[in-house]
Amino acid sequence: MRFGHFDDKNREYVITDPRTPLPWINFLGTQEFFSLISNTSGGYSFYKDALYRRITRYRYNNLPLDSGGKYFYINDAGTVWSPAWKPAQTELDAYECRHGLSYTSIRGEKNGLSCTQRSFVPLDAHCEVQQLTLENNSDQKKEISLYSFAEWCLWNAHDDMNNLQRNLSIGEVEIHGGTIYHKTEYRERRNHIAFYHSSRPPEGYDTDRESFFGMYNGLANPQVVMDDTPRNSVADGWSPVASHCNRITIAPGETKKLVFVLGYAENPDDEKWSAPGQINTTRAEELIAQFSTPEQAETAWKQLQSYWDELLAGFQVEHHDDRLERMVNTWNQYQCMVTYNFGRSASYYETGIGRGLGFRDTNQDLLGFLHLIPERARQRILDVAATQMEDGSCYHQYQPLTKRGNDAIGGDFNDDPIWLIASVSAYIRETDDWDILEEVVPFQNDPDNTGTLFDHLTRSVEHVLNNRGPHGLPLIGRADWNDCLNLNSFSTNPDESFQTADSKEGKTAESILIAALFIYYGREYVELANRSSRETDAGRVLKAITEMEKAVEEHGWDGAWYLRAYDDSGNKVGSKENEEGKIFIESQGFCSMANIGADKEMPRRALDAVGEHLATKHGIVLHQPAFTRYYLNLGEISSYPEGYKENAGIFCHNNPWIMIGETLIGRGDKAYDYYQRIAPAFREEISDLHRTEPYVYSQMIAGKDAGRHGEAKNSWLTGTAAWNFVAITQHILGIRPEFDGLRVDPCIPADWKGFTIQRRFRGARYIITVSNPNGVMKGPSEVRLNGDKIDGNIVPPQPADTDNNVEVIL
């Protein structure tokens, strides 16, 4: 491998060449304080919300890419270098970056001096800890200067970029010993401060950006570092930064450890000041005191590792292919956790100012995450449900800090409501926590207008039923899962967003995808209703589902595959009659998952059509043929060049829908073949082409019509993580939580001999051994629980804290 390799034992990806094709990044933080960090130490930090509480500054779309981060510089007898290679970019004698679970450790070596920086956010703490280890491997005593560097963001990331003239005069800091405090706007309405602390009392510091860099130098060669002379500058307006200068002597063979803490603290309004104009630093100091010795930092790091050990023990597979193991056991679950925490807000491709948490995204992210931390999933479900409106429609996005729907984007994406049923039923299957249905949850965050969570689900269902078009199929609204299929927008104005452009009344354009979602998750609703003594609701919706199935069979089948939609003129979208966009993946996926028209073999025929028209060696494209021009009646989907994004790109998010469809008709070989095409660990060898990180999924891989077919974009924050985890664990490996227990129903390639899974489920542990002596793809012939044969293949829940052996013979 050209750029690095997996270290499975330590659950790390080890990057050995700093010049990766794109920045290969990691996410730090598991609860409220978060950082992004690249393999050359780029990135930034924020508290809870990357828009409202941005702590350090980052410039997206910079040149070169990924210039800006929390950096270290070493001046060793006039040679200036950085352990992460950047920003000094002095050629190193050795370099290695290890991205692990919620930490990143980067080691550089130059002229016999090794420096390792390990960054992580401790559990339950609002700070990032940087452990610095210096080792003198030469035979000479070294006297070096170590400079830290961070640039403060003025809190609101949007204003920070936008309101430049104001920002130039508001920067304020305070310096107390080794701690630099950032207090811009604290004098007025803010009650929060940030700080950067050096455990070793530094010999000097800088907090004014121009004093640190000089007027004509950049990140690679700050004047202070080049001159080896800190200016002890105090920011006064302009741009506040934080840099400590530590002068360190190290004997040959000696190791020295330092700790830096970058953190965030809030003070109650009546305790903001310790003296006029002087911030109260008590809370910040308490936080610092927890981590400021090397021993404390090490302990906190170990606690974080135990936390991950414990979490991931909830699902582990032993399998003959180590690529599958590393995806399932480590990286896919890790990415699910990151998408849960970050939504679509902040990554190297999401700027943290545009999108908070999406309604449909959040509900789908939960599918990949709730087996890990069900208690937190519960709260997230209640938060997202509270943004739903009374008529069942939903705010398309909401902000993590305020938990309020985002007015700028509004609602009317008509698939949104249904996804709430998906997350709630998955949550109850996992936990058996039926009480959640009775929780009282506001509509539109209005405490005076509430219903039970079950009422919210009913509104979701009714929203679909109340908004049906000429064929009895659901109206699409602004868009369904495909944000860019805008059948009611007819936008001719380049200065408006397709997502919020003035929309037609929308009484004609219908979505077959929403119909399929309604059928698939409507059945879940019916189960929830029946099992919570709401038979009337169940009966009513069951009837509606049957009608909807009929409508799809009659008006949603194109002869060899399912249609995608009807447009505003009532014309078909995704039909052989169309010149372009004749067949789409979304409806083939969800209609076959919902098994619509099974007696006419519609699912199998649709999946065959996918194989024939949409599958490529790099994954399954969204549709074919790609749109070669802009179609006013289709919207943003036709705005992209062919093969990119929603115009026939490989959207990794819905490839698993096809995999799941394939498992339902028993074709384990096909399902797993599709899985391997997009799973990043299987694409590691083609990193030059793929370019994004080989340890996490990207949103899109360029489709066959693109100039750069096979190249991935927008890694990390994508529903791809959750859906691929669902496809591989629940449908291919086939361990599926059901209301009555754990179903074991693998659907695998015939040549697999077997595999073993350890799974936690409702407090008990299961060791599930699947063997395939007859070389079949599907169908357990015998299931034993702790030695005794059981009827069927649902393992009933066992007492908490017990270990249980499940043997499955296919």
Six token digits for residue 45? 């930090």
Residue 645 binds to ligand BGC (criterion: CB under 6 A): yes
The distance of closest approach from Cβ of residue 402 to ligand NOJ in the complex, given in angstroms and rounded to an integer, is 20
The answer to the question of residue 489 lying near ligand BGC (CB under 6 A) is: no
Please report how close the Cβ of residue 368 comes to ligand BGC at its closest, in angstroms: 18
**Residue range at the interface with ligand NOJ (CB under 6 A); choices 180-188, 479-487, 572-580, 701-709:** 479-487
Among residues 174 and 483, whose Cβ is nearest to ligand BGC? 483
Residue from 249, 128, 244 nearest 177 by CA:
244
Structure tokens at 246: 């530590």
The entry of ligand BGC, ligand NOJ, none that residue 499 binds, CB within 5 to 8 Å by partner kind: ligand BGC
Radius of gyration of the chain (CA): 28
CA angle 11, 127, 191 (to 5 degrees): 150
SS3 of the chain: helix, strand, coil, percent, to 5? 30, 30, 40
Of 193, 192, 174, 172, the C-alpha closest to 184 is: 172
Q: Which residues contact 244 (CB under 8 A, 6 or more apart)?
A: 147, 148, 178, 180, 196, 198, 202, 204, 205, 260
DSSP string of 132-158, one letter each residue: EEEEE-SSS-EEEEEEEEEEEEEE-HH
623 vs 403: CA distance, rounded Å = 35
Q: Which CB sits closer to ligand NOJ, 344 or 618? A: 344
Q: How many residues bind ligand NOJ (CB under 6 A)?
A: 9
Q: Using CA atoms, how far apart are residues 396 and 411, in angstroms rounded to an integer?
A: 5
| Cα gap 72→248, rounded to integer Å | 14
| Contacting ligand NOJ within 679-698 (CB under 6 A) | none
Q: Return the H-helix or E-strand segment holding 715.
A: strand 712-715
Element of type H or E holding 423? helix 416-431
Q: Which C-beta is closer to ligand NOJ: that of 41 or that of 482?
A: 482
C-beta closer to ligand BGC: residue 76 or 636: 636
What is the secondary structure of 383-406 as a DSSP string?
HHHTTB-TTS-B-SEE-TTT--B-
Q: Which is nearer to ligand BGC, 415 or 646 (CB)?
A: 646
Whether 97 and 116 have beta carbons less than 8 Å apart is answered as no
**Closest residue to ligand BGC, based on beta-carbon distance:** 483
Please state the closest distance from residue 589 (CB atom) to ligand NOJ, in A. Answer: 12
* 299-328: burial string, b at 16+ Cβ within 10 Å, e else: ebbeebbeebeebbebbbbebeeebbbbbb
State the minimum distance, in angstroms, from the CB of residue 717 to ligand NOJ.
Answer: 8
Binding mask 351-390 for ligand NOJ (x = CB under 6 A): -------x-xx-----------------------------
d(CA 684, CA 576): 37
Closest distance of CB 622 from ligand BGC, Å: 11
Find out whether 498 and 636 touch, Cβ atoms under 8 Å: yes
Q: Kindly state whether residue 499 participates in binding ligand BGC, applying the rule CB under 6 A.
A: yes
**653 lies in the binding site for ligand BGC (CB under 6 A):** no
Query: Residue 53 and residue 424: Cα distance in Å, rounded?
Result: 30
Q: Which is nearer to ligand BGC, 499 or 511 (CB)?
A: 499
Q: How far is the CB of 457 from ligand BGC (least distance, A)?
A: 25
The reply on whether position 365 binds ligand BGC by CB under 6 A is: no
Q: Which is nearer to ligand BGC, 146 or 696 (CB)?
A: 696
C-beta of 788: minimal distance to ligand NOJ in Å? 45
Residue with tokens 């960054």: 119
Q: Taking the CB of residue 720, how many other CB atoms lie within 10 A of it?
A: 29
Could you tell me if 150 and 57 are in contact, meaning their C-beta atoms sit under 8 angstroms apart?
no
Q: What is the DSSP string of 174-187?
A: EEETTEEEE-TTTT
Q: Which is nearer to ligand BGC, 484 or 610 (CB)?
A: 484
Least separation, in Å, of the C-beta of 645 and ligand BGC? 5
Strands (E) across 230-321 are located at 240-250, 255-266, 273-275, 278-279, 315-318
Angle (nearest 5°) at CA 12 between 11 and 13:
135
* 326 contact choice in ligand NOJ, ligand BGC, none (CB below 5 to 8 Å, kind-dependent): none
Q: Which is nearer to ligand BGC, 430 or 636 (CB)?
A: 636
Q: Rounded to an integer, what distance in angstroms lies between the CA atom of residue 236 and that of residue 207? A: 9
Residues 449-488 that bind ligand BGC (CB under 6 A): 483-484
Please say which residue, 155 or 716, places its beta carbon nearer to ligand BGC: 716
Q: Which is nearer to ligand NOJ, 636 or 807 (CB)?
A: 636
Which one is catalytic: 66, 455, 480, 483? 483
Output the six-digit token pair for 78.
Answer: 């006039």
**Site membership for ligand NOJ, residue 586 (CB under 6 A):** no
Residue 174 makes contact with ligand NOJ by CB under 6 A: no
Q: Which is nearer to ligand NOJ, 482 or 488 (CB)?
A: 482
Q: How many residues bind ligand BGC (CB under 6 A)?
A: 7
User: Which of ligand BGC, ligand NOJ, none does 481 bind, CB closer than 5 to 8 A by kind?
Assistant: ligand NOJ
Smallest distance from ligand NOJ to CB 60, Å: 18
In the complex, minimum distance from the CB of residue 360 to ligand NOJ, in angstroms, rounded to a whole number: 5
Residue 463's binding partner, choosing from ligand NOJ, ligand BGC, none, with beta-carbon cut-off 5 to 8 A by kind? none
Q: Which of residues 623-682 bind ligand NOJ (CB under 6 A)?
A: 646
Select from 54, 98, 209, 344 the one that contacts ligand NOJ (CB under 6 A): 344
Distance CA 69, CA 83 (A): 13
Q: Tokens 């395939």 belong to which residue?
A: 772
Q: Which of 646, 684, 745, 807 binds ligand BGC (CB under 6 A)?
A: 646
Q: Residue 32 CB, nearest distance to ligand NOJ (Å)?
A: 23
Selection from ligand BGC, ligand NOJ, none that 482 binds (CB < 5 to 8 A by kind) is ligand NOJ
The C-alpha atoms of residue 91 and residue 78 are separated, in whole angstroms, by: 15
CB atoms closer than 10 angstroms to residue 604: 17
* In the complex, residue closest to ligand NOJ by CB: 483
Per-residue x/- marks for ligand NOJ, 791-810, CB under 6 A? --------------------
Binding mask of the shown chain, residues 603 to 642, with x at each position contacting ligand BGC by CB under 6 A: ---------------------------------x------
Contacts 24+ apart (CB under 8 A), 377-382: 377/423, 377/427, 378/427, 378/431, 378/433, 378/436, 380/340, 381/420, 381/423, 381/424, 381/427, 381/436, 381/453, 382/436, 382/439, 382/441, 382/453
In the chain, the largest separation of any two C-alpha atoms, in whole Å, equals 84
Per the annotation, the verdict on 483 as an active-site residue is yes
Residue 484 makes contact with ligand NOJ by CB under 6 A: yes
Please choose which of ligand NOJ, ligand BGC, none residue 361 contacts, taking the beta carbon within 5 to 8 angstroms, the exact cut-off set by kind. ligand NOJ
User: What is the token pair recorded at 232?
Assistant: 């002890």
Q: Are 635 and 484 in contact (CB under 8 A)?
A: yes
* Helix locations, 214-251, DSSP H: 223-227
Q: How far is the CB of 718 from ligand BGC (least distance, A)?
A: 9
483 near ligand NOJ (CB under 6 A): yes
- Binding partner of residue 436 among ligand BGC, ligand NOJ, none, CB under 5 to 8 Å per kind? none
Nearest alpha carbon to residue 272 among 282, 264, 262, 263: 282
Give the integer Cα–Cα distance in Å for 524 and 514: 15
- Residues in touch with ligand NOJ (CB under 6 A): 344, 358, 360-361, 481-484, 646
- Residues near ligand BGC (CB under 6 A) are 483-484, 498-499, 636, 645-646
Catalytic residues: 483
